[in-house]
Amino acid sequence: MCGIVGYYGERSAYDVLVKGLKRLEYRGYDSAGIAVIGDGLEVFKKKGKVKDLENFIDQKKITGKIGIGHTRWATHGEPSDVNAHPHLSGEKSIAIIHNGIIENYSSLKQELLSKGYEFESETDTEVLVQFIQAIKIENNCGLVEAIRIALNQVIGAYAIAVISKDEPNLLVAARKGSPLVIGIGKDEFLLASDASPIVEYTNEVVYLNDNEIAIIENGDLTITTIEDVKQTPYIQTLDLELEAIEKGGYPHFMLKEIFEQPNSIGDCMRGRIDATTDRLVLGGIREYADKLVEAERIVIVACGTSWHAGLVAEYLIEDLCRIPVEVEYASEFRYRNPVIKQGDVVIAISQSGETADTLAAIELAKSKGAVIFGVVNTVGSSISRATDEGAYLHAGPEIGVASTKAFTGQLTVLTMIALMIGKRKGTITDRKFSNMLRELSMIPEKIKAVLDSNDKIEFIADLFKDARNFLYLGRGYNFPVALEGALKLKEISYIHAEGYPAAEMKHGPIALIDEQMPVVVIATRDNSYDKIVSNIQEVKARKGVVIAVVTEGDALIPKMADFVIEVPRTADELMPLVSVLPLQLLSYHIAVLRGCNVDQPRNLAKSVTVE
């Protein structure tokens, strides 16, 4: 969380920074700020969105060509002008922006306080910049050396960028645990938390590694480690189009991303599946493929929506491959002394590839000798680099904070992994394998059919937009979909919602049901259909209002439910790919009708790089 951006070149730094911050706003939007070396060191920062910063700066002429910018998701200290980044050293010569957490900030602060340093903000970042300043004075050294010494004493995670009015031709950046990409243009350099602020200017990038410092000075880039060992920059070419990070005529990124799903799933399968020849190839899983096939158990680690995809994968892998699967919240896994043995298989699922807890869970499993596979969307991200092998989603950038196309991309990749294992293990027949491939390749068309119900779903949303609670029920493969539907609703509309396995309802949530309670039941035709029909009757008997997601042509449930949304028929294992769509649209429309900021819901961030 928090987005950072830096510029060094011949353009107006202000223009590049503000544009870049808008692209990174999905990472946090509590406050924003910039610092530019122009007429001295000019700093502007403001509580609120990047737009509030622009209004605050108004028409002021900012001429500098080197600068840094930040959009914040508060960790230490409430969102306020004073806690906004950039933070300055005491005599206001050094400016820093920071994404991450300095864990030993409190002891560093005590040390600095005892030396007479004063602090304006409550942030760990101000401690870091004062610490750098103190080292600079005590060692009588330049900025780069002071940063290097400081980072050797810092515990925690950071991506930082630093400028100083005393060395006006210098931009320094460093990373440990938080992402940082450097764009190399013609006579200019950019740096950012992800490639989206960079792609407009260049597609040549270097992903900084942990414990590396990038020094951009007098038109040159040098990379060293924090031990001062020079590194050769590994320049990569970005595969990212500008239009992929713009709204393309949609009112919100979330809606654009929901409607992109026929294409994003198609892209995910492209070159990997050929249903006409029964071919399934995952190019990123080769050397360690045997480990997956021979695994005695598989542990999945993930957070949020990615954890829900993991639950579907548990059903898929146990069903199709007969391998026991455990799905863990990464944040719990890493702190509970889990049993992982040499050669165990772990699958980490992450859209951003930067989630701190998932990354830490991977490191823990690795240290115990596990083989790690990644199911990641963001190419070149920290998680994709920390895993042994894996498969990208190829869903394109997901910018709306509520995950949609990444979820269906994850399901697609996980289904392909399960099919690959099942085929090689012989736990599924050739016939089942080819049927599944055929069904999978038809999913994009089936999703298009669900998207045709958008107007109907908007109509239903309007009727329920003022509800205070929602219950989501599903069974089997649709149980994780119920969890995901409830999560989507609460995160963007702020309506309390719970997802439950339908049969568990009678062990508690049924007490909540009355005529005020909308109950969304995912009741597609599968092997628990008859049971879920009974669950709908239980809700109706208590006067609950039922919105049912049903398989097209279902004649029974429409007689009981208050509203039905039809989805096309597909294999049970693939149903979540289709049945989640109406729930994404329902939450989207409810949130819009309630006047909520769908793409930037309060308190949330897209990429959670703190623990």
**Smallest distance from ligand G6P to CB 178, Å:** 13
Distance CA 129, CA 150 (A): 9
Helix axes 575-593, 454-464, angle to 10 degrees: 50
Decide whether 403 or 570 has the Cβ nearer to ligand G6P: 403
Residue entry with tokens 């002891």: 107
Decide whether 492 or 564 has the Cβ nearer to ligand G6P: 492
Torsion of Cα atoms, 132 then 380 then 199 then 28, to 10°: -60
Decide whether 376 or 571 has the Cβ nearer to ligand G6P: 376
Distance CA 145, CA 127 (A): 17
Q: Does the annotation count 2 as an active-site position?
A: yes
* DSSP H or E stretch at residue 106: helix 105-114
Torsion of Cα atoms, 161 then 164 then 167 then 172, to 10°: -10
Catalytic residue among 2, 268, 303, 596: 2
Q: Are 25 and 190 in contact (CB under 8 A)?
A: no
In the set 193, 403, 415, 551, which binds ligand G6P (CB under 6 A)? 403
Give the largest CA-CA distance in the chain: 81
In the set 536, 608, 609, 610, which binds ligand G6P (CB under 6 A)? 608
Of 352, 363, 298, the closest CA to residue 330 belongs to 363
The count of chain residues that interact with ligand G6P, using the rule CB under 6 A, is 14
Catalytic residue among 109, 446, 488, 606: 606
**Smallest distance from ligand G6P to CB 3, Å:** 14
What is the amino acid identity at position 208? Answer: L
Paired strand residues for 223? 214, 231
Q: Which one of 2-10, 106-114, 238-246, 602-610 is the stretch in contact with ligand G6P (CB under 6 A)?
A: 602-610
**Smallest distance from ligand G6P to CB 307, Å:** 7
Q: Does the annotation count 606 as an active-site position?
A: yes
Decide whether 194 or 566 has the Cβ nearer to ligand G6P: 194
Decide whether 144 or 492 has the Cβ nearer to ligand G6P: 492
**Smallest distance from ligand G6P to CB 359, Å:** 9
**Smallest distance from ligand G6P to CB 489, Å:** 13
The answer to whether residue 125 forms part of the interface with ligand G6P (CB under 6 A) is no
What is the amino acid identity at position 127? Answer: V
In the set 72, 488, 589, 606, which binds ligand G6P (CB under 6 A)? 606
The answer to whether residue 412 forms part of the interface with ligand G6P (CB under 6 A) is no
Residue 463 makes CB contacts below 8 A (sequence gap 6+) with none
Distance CA 102, CA 80 (A): 19
Full DSSP string of 149-193 = HHHTT--EEEEEEEEETTSTTEEEEEEEBS--EEEEETTEEEEES
User: CA 12, 17, 23 angle in degrees (round to 5)?
Assistant: 140
Q: Which residue is nearest to ligand G6P (CB)?
A: 304
User: CA 37, 43, 46 angle in degrees (round to 5)?
Assistant: 150
Binding marks (x or -) toward ligand G6P, 543..562, rule CB under 6 A? Answer: --------------------
Decide whether 125 or 350 has the Cβ nearer to ligand G6P: 350
CA distance from start to end of the chain: 10
| Interface of this chain with ligand G6P, residues 64 to 103, rule: CB under 6 A | none
The answer to whether residue 604 forms part of the interface with ligand G6P (CB under 6 A) is yes
**Smallest distance from ligand G6P to CB 606, Å:** 5
Decide whether 148 or 394 has the Cβ nearer to ligand G6P: 394
Decide whether 487 or 571 has the Cβ nearer to ligand G6P: 487
**Smallest distance from ligand G6P to CB 23, Å:** 17
Sheet holding 345-350, edge to edge: 325-329, 298-302, 345-350, 371-376, 389-392
Distance CA 574, CA 319 (A): 12
What is the amino acid identity at position 575? Answer: M
**Smallest distance from ligand G6P to CB 189, Å:** 27
- Rg, Å, the chain Cα set: 25
Structure tokens of 525? 């035709």
Count of positions (residues) in the chain: 611
In the set 258, 401, 418, 590, which binds ligand G6P (CB under 6 A)? 401
Decide whether 264 or 352 has the Cβ nearer to ligand G6P: 352
**How many other C-beta atoms are found inside a 10 Å radius of the C-beta of residue 138?**
11
**Smallest distance from ligand G6P to CB 376, Å:** 8
Decide whether 310 or 422 has the Cβ nearer to ligand G6P: 310
Binding marks (x or -) toward ligand G6P, 343..382, rule CB under 6 A? Answer: -------xxx--x--x------------------------
Distance CA 412, CA 388 (A): 20
Q: Are 3 and 192 in contact (CB under 8 A)?
A: yes
Distance CA 163, CA 147 (A): 11
| Interface of this chain with ligand G6P, residues 288 to 317, rule: CB under 6 A | 303-306
* Chain residues that interact with ligand G6P, rule: CB under 6 A: 303-306, 350-352, 355, 358, 401, 403, 604, 606, 608
Active site residues: 2, 606
